[in-house]
Chain A
Amino acid sequence: MDALAMGNYGAYVWSCFGLTLIVVVLSAWRARARHKHVYREIEVQIKALEEHQ
């Protein structure tokens, strides 16, 4: 409980750490998701071209 309270500053400290965690995780996740998305799009286009030939 001591940890949570952080000497009355609990809300401030934990919101900062929490927000940082969220932003970092989100950034990493978005980077990966974007990569998959771009890869898939390119894959679809290339395979479509292949079929036409």
Chain B
Amino acid sequence: MSAIKAGQPGILAGLLAITRRDLLLAWKRPGDVLNPLFFFAMVCTLFPLAVGPSAEQLTFSGPGVLWVAALLSTLLSLNSLFMSDHEDGSLDQLLVSPQPLPVLALGKTLAHWLISGFPLVLISPLLAITYRMPSDIMGVLMLTLLLGTISLSLLGSIGAALTVGLHRGTALLSLLILPLAMPVLLLGANTVSLAAGNDIYSTGIWALGAYAVGSISLAPYATAAALRISNE
């Protein structure tokens, strides 16, 4: 692995390039966007079916259910983050690229989030309405999901990198990521609940923001290390 030489694309260009590539690839497979969305919606449907549609229960559990659904949906979609590249050999190319591997990992994760995490944020108000959540907390809901799904995608990329190519990797991936995801879930869902109860919820937003920033700056290094290890 050689460093970037003069005249070659810089780091930002590299980041944008890989993000663009993954987005273009996903464009050809609409399922990549739609499947997590439908899964998200379906999980949100499961709870009222299971525990009954009483109004107070719905309003009360709304934030939590939406958040758990977003978490599960992200988890499921993470499996494919490195899988196709691993299968067709592109991953090996990425490993010897002059671009720093953490940057490439960040780019791929960013693209993945844009495909499977961000749409959840956009569709969440619709589902929140079905849970009779008051419209004034929609903004908080979307903000927490925005920050949270970013963190989840980044943490998840570490797990995905550790389990790429492993037999029964998906189940293991979930097992590895869930403990990492619990603080995010905790912060996200409870911040929305606080907002719904007209309590002060700014701490939660700050914490989620810190988590997202921390993840963006640190997770790619762990992901890169894991990718190298997995592909020796």
Direct A–B touching in the complex (beta carbon < 8 Å)?
no
